[in-house]
Amino acid sequence: MNTRLTPQEREQLYSLIREKLELSGEECPEEIENSTMVRELPGVDSMKLFRLLGAIELGFQVNLGFEAIPQVETVEDIERLICESREQYAARAS
């Protein structure tokens, strides 16, 4: 059971967060980390969060569903949701 993303996948996740939440310029945190509170990032609103989760589904080929939205507080929560979705798919496939 793999409950962590690889370093490359983690960087992909951080890149999607910067892109979909439109984080750039001076107000963007220099470093996004697992403990970063997603909803407290500059300019985050429900539509940006929704677009982010959609991009994560496509980029990581997972199904998070609408129930993921209230579960996301930190970047680590997103990573956990990705890994849980992969585990559920693996369980159904076996």
Structural domain span for residue 75: 7-93
Within-domain flag for 33? yes
Domain count, the chain: 1
Report, as an integer, the average pLDDT of 3-12: 91
Cβ neighbours around 52 below 10 Å, total: 21
Lowest mean pLDDT among 21-30, 31-40, 42-51: 21-30
CATH number at residue 21: 1.10.1200.10
Within-domain flag for 1? no
Within-domain flag for 2? no
Within-domain flag for 59? yes
pTM for this model (two decimals): 0.88
Within-domain flag for 41? yes
26 pLDDT higher than 70: no
Cβ neighbours around 56 below 10 Å, total: 24
pLDDT digits (tens, 9 = 90+) for 47-90: 999 999 999 999 999 999 888 999 999 999 999 999 999 998 88
